[in-house]
Amino acid sequence: ITKAIRDTFEDFSDTRAAMIAQTEVNDAYNQGRIYTAASAGFDQKAWDPDGEACEICMGNVDAGWIGIDEEFPSGDMAPTAHPNCDCSIDFQKGAE
């Protein structure tokens, strides 16, 4: 993916192309996970930081479990919240 970005945008550095690739792949991964979780009947989600998360992501972590159709405090439905975000998302079925 990084090479495809570099081939398309010749003025992008390897670092910038890798950041874009990582962010976009993580976006797609987490969107697929939301779709799969909702299809499986999960109705709650929680932000899962990777290592040392930034202030934006920690605000989402602090929100705890929220409805699967709700936005996190950052306004995002799922990671990523910013370029280079490496966070993920967890799911559970709420108490009935």
Do 89 and 79 meet the contact criterion of CB atoms below 8 Å apart? yes
pTM above 0.95, yes or no: no
Q: Measuring CA to CA, which residue among 4, 1, 7 is closest to residue 28?
A: 1
pLDDT digits (tens, 9 = 90+) for 72-85: 999 999 999 998 88
* Residues belonging to the chain: 96
pLDDT digits (tens, 9 = 90+) for 28-67: 999 999 999 999 999 999 999 977 889 999 999 999 999 9
Q: Which residues contact 85 (CB under 8 A, 6 or more apart)?
A: 23, 26, 54, 57, 79
**Backbone dihedral region of 85: left (phi > 0), alpha (psi from -120 to 50 degrees) or beta?**
beta
